Structure 1
Amino acid sequence: MARTREFDTQAAVAEAMTLFWSRGYEATSVRDLTQRLGIGQGSLYAAFGDKDGLYRAALDHYRTTLAADALRDLQREGDARSAIRSMLIERIRIAAGADGRGCLAVNAACERLPHDAATRTVVQDMQNASRQALADVLRAAQERGELAPRHDPDALAGFLVTFLNGLLVSAKISPDVRALEPLVDIALTALD
């Protein structure tokens, strides 16, 4: 008879996400995970396969929660410039929080690539979703006359995602939101 899982896997993934986010993949041991999650090593392996499986689940949880929320918020704002500015500033605040833990996706790319194909796929999916959401906002802005027709929404979206990645790394180095905010305003001059 199969044993019933005695823990909430979604809660465990959310907790593991927080641990990986603050410590990184390499610095987080299976023992750290089992202690933090309050489960045995056998339970971790039964539910996730191994540490890599739990890490991928944590990245996916980040993608479907925090990253997805940022993209939804981007769609809710009025004008494109304000929406993009708000999203960028909020991402800085999150990255600078907890003494500069950064962005889990950017951290994963810096720590695990180019050798971890599964992490590359998850991070690329997040990047592509961000690029597409920004391009959609910029196309709508162009249709409303907020963005000049000479601009290529896809190229601008690619620039903004690349800028955001650099900004999130900078937030780890110097987790000072007030010092990073003016950089957002400079980047937004690309929309002029």
Structure 2
Amino acid sequence: MARTKEFDPDVALGRALNLFWRRGYEATSMADLVEHLGIGRASLYATFGGKHDLYVKALERYAQMCDPNLVEMLSQPGPALPAVRALVERYTEDSIRDPDRRGCMVVNAATELMPDDEPVARLVEASWTSLETALTSALIRARAQGEISADADPRALARFVLVFLQGLRVMGKSRGDPARIRDAAAHALAMLR
């Protein structure tokens, strides 16, 4: 007879996500996971596989939580440019106000594990492609509605915004002067007119 799990795998995955997000992949040991999740090592392995498997599942969960919200934000009917500008402002404030300096788990995964970790690279690229596609769509609508210049290249502009947003997340991990981030964001927002 199979034993029933004495823990909720969904809750455990959420707790693992938070630990990996806060500490990173390399700085989180299996012993840390066992202690933080309150689950025996054998149960962890049986449910999630090894540490890397659990990390990939946590990163997938993070992307599933965040990516649809961004796409929805950029897909609202009406003027498109205000949504793009609001996204830049949101990333700016999130980067400055993150008291734990966790940053974005996708960006953290990219800077810690890419380019050699194929499963992580696929997830990071999928997340970035999703955001780039949503930005491109919004900027195509903005151009069609006369919100940006008729000769603007929505895809190139979307790529600029994507790279800028990821850079904001990296800069937000520092305890440096928030004016650096705000000044850069103001300049990027000025380009989105």
Structure 1 residues 190 and 62: alpha-carbon distance in aligned structure 2, compared to 1, 3 A threshold: same
Residue 89 of structure 1 is matched in structure 2 by 89
**What are structure 2's unaligned runs of at least 5 residues?**
none
Which SS does the other structure have where 1:132 is aligned? helix
> What aligned pairs does 1:1-192 form with structure 2 within 5 A after superposition?
1-76=1-76, 78-96=78-96, 97-174=98-175, 179-192=180-193
**Count of aligned pairs between the two proteins:** 192
Identity of aligned residues (%): 40
Instruction: Name the CA shift for 1:177/1:4 in 2 (closer, same or farther; >3 Å).
Output: farther
Say if 2:79 and 2:145, in contact at 8 Å, map to a contact too.
no
* Paired residues of 1:16 and 1:33 also in contact (CA < 8 A): yes
CA drift at 1:78: 4.9
Secondary structure of 2:99 counterpart: helix
Name whichever of 26-35 and 64-73 sits farther off: 64-73
Amino acid at match of 2:153: D
Distance 1:177 1:7, change over 3 A: farther
What is the CA RMSD across the aligned residues, in angstroms? 1.9
Alpha-carbon contact 1:88-1:184 (below 8 Å) kept: yes
Deviates more, 1:163-172 or 1:87-96: 87-96
Where does the alignment leave 5 or more consecutive residues of structure 1 unmatched?
Answer: none
TM-score (normalised: structure 2): 0.91
> Contact conserved, 1:91 with 1:168, CA < 8 A, in 2?
yes
Structure 2: distance between partners of 1:89 and 1:157: 15
Q: Secondary structure at the match of 1:137?
A: helix
Runs of 4+ deviating beyond 6 Å: none
Per-residue CA deviations over 1:149-173 (Å, capped at 9, x if unaligned) read 2111111111111111111111112
Contact conserved, 1:93 with 1:177, CA < 8 A, in 2?
A: no
Give the whole-Å Cα distance in 2 for the aligned partners of 1:109 and 1:154: 22
